[in-house]
Amino acid sequence: MTSEIESSQARTQKLEGLGTRRKRVEDIRFTQGKGNYVDDLKFPGMLFGGFVRSPYGHARVKSINKEAAIKLPGVKAVLTAEDLKPLKLHWMPTLAGDVQAVLADEKVLFQGQEVAFVVAEDRYIAADAVDLIEVDYEELPALVDPTRSMAGDAPVLRDDLKDKTSGAHGPRKHHNHVFTWEVGDAAGTARALAQAAVVAKEQIVYQRVHPCPLETCGCVASMNKVDGHLTLWGTFQAPHAVRTVASLISGIPEHKIRIVSPDIGGGFGNKVGVYPGYICAIVASIVLGVPVKWVEDRMENLQATAFARDYHMTGEIAASPDGRITGLRCHVLADHGAFDACADPTKYPAGFFSICTGSYDIPVAHVTVDGVYTNKAPGGVAYRCSFRVTEASYFIERMIDVLARKLAIDPAEIRRRNLIRKEQFPYRSALGWEYDSGDYVTALDKSLAAVDYASLRDEQRRNREAFARGETRRLMGIGVSFFTEIVGAGPIKNCDILGLGMFDSCEIRVHPTGSAIARLGTVSQGQGHATTFAQILASEIGIPAENITIEEGDTDTAPYGLGTYGSRSTPVAGAAAAMAGRKIRAKAQMIAAYLLEVHDDDLEWDVDRFRVKGVPEMSKTMTELAFAAYNNVPPGMEPGLEAVSYYDPPNMTYPFGAYVCVVDIDVDTGVTEIRRFYALDDCGTRINPMIIEGQVHGGLTEALAIAMAQEMDYDEYGNLKNASLLDFFLPTAVETPSWETDYTTTPSPHHPIGAKGVGESPNVGGVSAFSNAVNDAFAHLGLTHTAMPHDHWRVWKTAQSLGLTTG
């Protein structure tokens, strides 16, 4: 028996299935420079497109003179809105139910907006031609501050909407209003606030930032005029959705459109939406009959493609004197820029912001969100988070600290008093979400023990005394954050994008010799899907992960899926993989029963084979069964071993985590050193711990960037002042501290393998941990809240405003 168990263990190891620190198979090509990105694609006769972009935040386009550009040798075409009008392609639908100008139609509404598209033999000629196009603008007053958007005298930004009293998300109350969205119990919350012993109120701004993937956005469009097929290679996080949208916009039948996402160098939400470059490249290829490539440069990416956040939140939190929260109210002013191009499920124009009661048992809450237009680039995407969850988490985690300060209760302690208890799951929040599983107190306690929180607070007390005596010029801050994410959209009944239900899919073909290929509706952008989906399948179907090829991103071969963003790959496509694997196994079981001449029920699964219960030496391995599937199946059964699963999740998954950050701030320079960062994540069943750690490291690095330095900084004319990576901070190894990672495991009860997503978690939990730490450093001096980003200059200004330093 012992030797049998050992052999099971040995076979399990060989599979490299769930829980294995399997090395990333993708890295073999990436580390050799053999990746295949959009800009690597080359086709005979391919042309290159480039944009003329608006230098103004708001202006009327009086005329466009393209004569000189067209005469430049090598230039093949120059497109403007006038050229697109006959095709009705000068405007396009956004994912949020708005429309966006493909090329400026009479007006420009943000700096960097697409005005004309030049097509030339190479990108250098295209760039020269861009410079030769003369656009006559009449500058208009720019509206940059969202708090001014709905003022009586605010300029009309969207001429096309100015008289419309309703939009895609209900009534509009001003010409620059996009929508009002409301959830929760307004009267009950007002009562809780009126009756509370303590109410803490704060304005919390989550600044506009940019997802900044290493590879910018781009595509190659190729129209085959002979057979009417359009192929579009591009940096798409959701290729099937792009195919459907491309068909609806262009009128080309969907079966004649093939969308391919090759390797993608990071997405972070930036590559979910449809950009004018895609439409222009398609039109140019249709007109000119050759492939047309468009790849934006870094400045274009920063200036014109989807931004994130820009949420201006006013919070009120009610509590008893011992810190028990009794109610929460929040109003958000959401700056959507010039067009509402937020990438949220249709019913959720403010994404999943209503997860803002966080990890706490809050009896009543009320949220209102007003979306407004400004003269800034459109977007509002889920930058490494699930649809506004980072904003929600930052809001509640700052509010809890503000309340803790007001009540003079330790921030970790006030969290412990309010955390949802293990026995309360599944837990229905005051704003309507059903949290699937959690063991929050254990996670918090583990994290506090790991960093020896009590000693850190002692050290901080001594540091403050020494500072008061003038013995040091450094202040120590300790940031605690506890977050709950909500990832894995669907279910279909709640979540769709442009009417497309948010399920996902996996199709598996097992070959006769016992290896397999699986195709999914998701797209990896560096998350290692080819490694980890194979691990899920290895455990499900008993074929070693190395013998399973994973393919994503080609709509001609992959089953329909809604793509990868908002950590939905594991919760939805991962579940589809497990379910498709189970179908394979069910068929294999019938074949095994036939070959072993027993009833199906007399068989049991053993790692990589079926064996007869009580007679373990009578068994058939998956390799044997795969071969039999092609030549010796039970009478009446179809040959072959294939399965497909379209998985509509019954609920989302709710990963969570407890983070602690320790900072040391030099008050005379504002220099803030991250001394320690501890991150405990619970993503349910862990597929590949090494990949999870990588995801957490990456997410924390982006959280560091956002919390400590990033902001898209516009002046009053709508000029983006930091439109290059010289001015917009992207952390390198030099600025990045070393991260300590840890975990607890609370499986999701409804996911086939108990897994929750993880890719977004560190950004959600990280940003508030950093910000709480910086705020905490000054808390004993009466500071309630100082806004992000906490760059050295702003931190120094905070110290100065508190009278700690002069200069």
| Interface residues toward ligand CDP, by CB under 6 A | 527-529, 532, 564, 567-570, 683-688, 691-692, 695, 755-759
- Kindly state the tokens that stand for 653: 């998954």
Taking the complex as a whole, the smallest distance from the CB of residue 757 to ligand CDP amounts, in Å, to 3
Contacts of 59 (CB under 8 A, 6+ apart): 107, 108, 137, 138, 139, 140
Burial of residue 620, with CB atoms counted within 10 A of its CB: 0-12 exposed, 13-18 middle, 19 or more buried: buried
Report the alpha-carbon distance of residue 18 to residue 22 in Å, rounded. Answer: 9
Shortest gap between Cβ of 24 and ligand CDP (angstroms)?
9
State the Cα–Cα distance between residues 350 and 353, nearest whole angstrom: 6
Three-state DSSP string of 6-61: HHHHHHHHHHCCCCCCCCCCCHHHHCCCCCCCHHHCCCCCCEEEEEEECCCCCEEE
Q: At closest approach, how far in Å is the CB of 742 from ligand CDP?
A: 15
* Residue closer to ligand CDP, measured from CB, 176 or 746: 746
Of 484 and 695, the one with the shorter C-beta distance to ligand CDP is: 695
Residue 720 · residue 111 · CB < 8 Å:
yes
Residues in contact with 531: Cβ distance below 8 Å, sequence separation at least 6, in sequence order: 22, 23, 24, 25, 26, 545, 550, 688, 691
The phi and psi torsions of 224 (rounded to 5 degrees) equal: -90, 105
CB 100 within 8 A of CB 92: yes
Q: Which helix (H) or strand (E) holds 533?
A: helix 529-541
Residue placing its CB nearer to ligand CDP in the complex, 374 or 567: 567
Strand stretches in 523-614, DSSP E = 548-552, 603-606, 609-612
Cβ neighbour number for residue 37 with a 10 Å cutoff: 16
Is the Cβ of residue 683 or residue 704 nearer to ligand CDP in the bound state?
683
Asked if 115 and 137 count as a contact pair (C-beta separation under 8 A), the reply is: no
> 768 — phi, psi (to 5°)?
-70, -30
- Quick one: how far is CA 350 from the chain centroid? 14
Handedness of CA 412, 416, 419, 425 (dihedral sign): positive
CB of 212 to ligand CDP, least distance (A): 16
The radius of gyration of the chain from alpha carbons, rounded to an integer in Å, stands at: 28
Contact partners, residue 171, CB within 8 Å, separation at least 6:
165, 180
CA distance 123 to 121: 7
Closest approach, Cβ 556 to ligand CDP, in A, equals 22
- From the CB of 563, what's the least distance to ligand CDP, in Å? 9
Q: Which is nearer to ligand CDP, 463 or 527 (CB)?
A: 527
Helix (H) or strand (E) holding 3: helix 2-15
Residue carrying the six token digits 């905490």: 776
Place of tokens 């040391």: 664
Residue numbers annotated as active site? 237, 384-385, 760
Backbone conformation region of residue 318, classed left if phi is above 0, alpha if psi is from -120 to 50, else beta:
beta
Among 113, 303, 198, 292, residue whose Cα is nearest residue 720: 303
Residue closer to ligand CDP by CB (options 78, 764) is: 764
- Which of residues 21 and 462 has its CB atom nearest to ligand CDP in the complex? 21
Query: What is the closest distance, in whole angstroms, from the C-beta atom of residue 227 to ligand CDP in the complex?
Result: 35
Would you say 219 or 683 has its CB closer to ligand CDP? Answer: 683
**Ramachandran angles phi, psi of 481, nearest 5°:** -140, 145
Structure tokens at 729: 């901070």
Could you give the CA distance from residue 641 to residue 626 in angstroms, rounded to a whole number? 7
Determine contact, residues 265/202, Cβ cutoff 8 Å.
no
Kindly report the CA angle at 597 between 595 and 603, in degrees rounded to 5? Answer: 85
CB of 375 to ligand CDP, least distance (A): 32
Nearer to ligand CDP by Cβ, of 349 and 757: the residue is 757
Residues in the chain: 807
- Cβ proximity to ligand CDP: between 189 and 653 the closer is 653
Kindly state the smallest distance separating residue 8's Cβ from ligand CDP, in Å: 23
How far apart, in whole angstroms, are the C-alpha atoms of residue 780 and residue 776?
A: 8
Closer of 235 and 589 to ligand CDP (Cβ): 235
For residue 606, list its beta bridge partners. Answer: 609
Place of tokens 């002013």: 333
Using the minimum distance from each CB to ligand CDP, give the nearer residue, 670 or 684: 684
Longest Cα pair distance anywhere in the chain, in angstroms?
89
Determine the number of helices (DSSP H) and then strands (DSSP E) in the chain: 19, 34
The β-bridge partners of 664 are 476, 673
